[in-house]
Amino acid sequence: MRRSASEQQGGERPIVVWFRRDLRVDDNPALIEAVRSGAAVIPLFVVDTKLISALPSDGAAFDLQAGALRELEDMIRRRGGTLLLRHGDGEDVHRSVIRDFQPSALYFNRDYEPSARTRDERIIRLYRTAGIDVRTFKDAVIFEPDEVLTVDGRPYVVFTPFANTWKRLPAPSPRSAPRRIRTPELSGGGVPDARSLGRKTAVSAPIATGGERAARKRWEWFLRNGLANYDRGRDLPAIDGTSRMSPYLRFGTISVRRMVEDVREAIDAGDAAASASARKYLDELIWREFYQAVLYHFPRVTTGNFRQQFDALRWRTNSRYFEAWKEGRTGVPLVDAGMRQLNETGWMHNRMRMVVASFLTKDLLIDWKRGEKYFASKLLDADTAANNGGWQWAASTGVDPKPLRIFNPRLQGERYDPEGDYIRRYVPELEDVPTEFIHAPHEMPGQLQHELRCVIGRRYPAPIVDHASAAAIYRKLFASVKHP
């Protein structure tokens, strides 16, 4: 008769630590508390085949996760333990874990997305029905959605008061990784990458590699070289002026508590300008939690507009325009550069995200949901809350007290990429175009186009829409919905 792992360990019942979007050993509350209990630990990662089949992610995201898992596996091994990877339907995997190990408890860090909460409720019932204790922990955020509320206990729907309340709360401190992780004898499953999962990879030059070491290396670089100038550099897509930590936060290969502690130390230690810059970066981390809270309290935003009156807005369904936008072939250089950066690297500069989202919704009059879905398929930092919140903000359907914002892509380019360096990097057809025409190459004289071998309409497209005319149409649509 086959003996369970707990019987093999002399009757000790281990604790299952279920890793999800927290692929690290540093400051991992579920792992730390399980080790602290003194029990043996089963570090578990479920390769959920049903979930994977439903995800739109490019193969590069699965390779990024694979890198993080390999390093997690190594980190646990260095501490004397073994990572258990099991493939299959999520619930079936957990049933097999209960059967094989007879654990005393399941520990995991909480997820706030609607689909994840539904999944977690099913798994919790599964363990508790078997008489197994379940403990969950706060990890992905500094403050959970129910911790940042108005004085009458309601969720905030405007960022600034949310941020003001957030800043008044005492932030938890990060905790060090366990020195030792004791696990039963474990085996099974290999780290899945894009190829083994049968996922195609179109992103050719991913912006990030997986794992705690890569996350920490990038974070330390930003603390030294970028944070003090973040307030000025964050809007310039041609320079490395942002943290680029979002892919690491998506997979939890760095602790947000450690990041906030580091930023607050920089605020206290810096001069006036450096402190102001660090405060601006802290605001960006708070935006992340604000969108998590909006999604948590208003899960309907995953399928519809936060401002429900905009359900009546009649979007266009121009497939030719949508394909041109996806491919970076709109004839609007800044928009095309942003989309090509996304397609090539799996990441896009935040200002460019606003520009391309505004262009899709306000210039092309295409439903933000189509853009949100495309971003989810390409972004290595794809996060439902941030992606949805950003798209609804850009489309004027979300939590924005000044919702009618229309970005003029030419003016955005002239202000934030004045020399056209970012455009030339991602739109090589325009690399020889003089700076005076880089934001509107269709205005070049015909002779110059031929001399540069950049004939508009042949080598590079003419703008597919006129911004001023399109923006005027959107304003009318907006007004008709807001004031029927």
Amino acid identity at 320: R
User: 164 an active-site residue?
Assistant: no
User: 393 an active-site residue?
Assistant: no
Please list the residues that pair with 17 across neighbouring strands.
43, 107
Measured in degrees and rounded to the nearest 5, phi and psi for residue 135 equal: -125, 135
What does the alpha-carbon distance between residue 123 and residue 90 come to, in Å, rounded to a whole number? 9
Pair 169, 148: CB distance under 8 Å:
yes
Q: What is the DSSP string of 159-170?
A: HHHHHHHHHHSP
Instruction: Fill in the DSSP letter of residue 426.
Output: H
User: 221 an active-site residue?
Assistant: no
Q: What is the DSSP string of 209-244?
A: --SHHHHHHHHHHHHHHTGGGHHHHTT-TTS--S--
Q: Which of 287, 325, 347, 393 is catalytic?
A: 287
Pair 384, 373: CB distance under 8 Å:
no
User: 287 an active-site residue?
Assistant: yes
Helices 114-129, 90-101: axis angle to 10 degrees equals 30
Pair 258, 29: CB distance under 8 Å:
no
Q: How far is CA 137 from CA 17, 31, 143, 175, in A?
A: 11, 10, 12, 14
User: 219 an active-site residue?
Assistant: no
**Would you mind telling me the total number of residues written for the chain in this entry?**
484
Q: Which of 7, 229, 315, 414 is catalytic?
A: 315
Q: Which of 91, 147, 284, 414 is catalytic?
A: 284
User: Would you call 135 helix, strand, or coil by DSSP?
Assistant: strand
Q: Quick one: how far is CA 240 from the chain centroid?
A: 18
Pair 257, 27: CB distance under 8 Å:
yes
Q: How far is CA 472 from CA 107, 235, 397, 475, in A?
A: 54, 26, 17, 5
Name the token pair of 221. Answer: 């670089």
CB atoms within 10 A of CB 104: 17
Name the token pair of 178. Answer: 């366990």
Measured in degrees and rounded to the nearest 5, phi and psi for residue 14 equal: -80, 170
66: closest CA among 200, 186, 197, 183? 197
Measured over all CA atoms, what is the biggest interatomic distance in the chain, rounded to whole angstroms? Answer: 86
Name the token pair of 431. Answer: 């690399």
Helix spans in 114-176 (H): 114-129, 159-168
CB atoms within 10 A of CB 345: 20
CB atoms within 10 A of CB 445: 9
CA 359, 361, 362: angle at the middle one, nearest 5? 65
Could you give the residue numbers annotated as active site? 284, 287, 315, 350, 368, 391
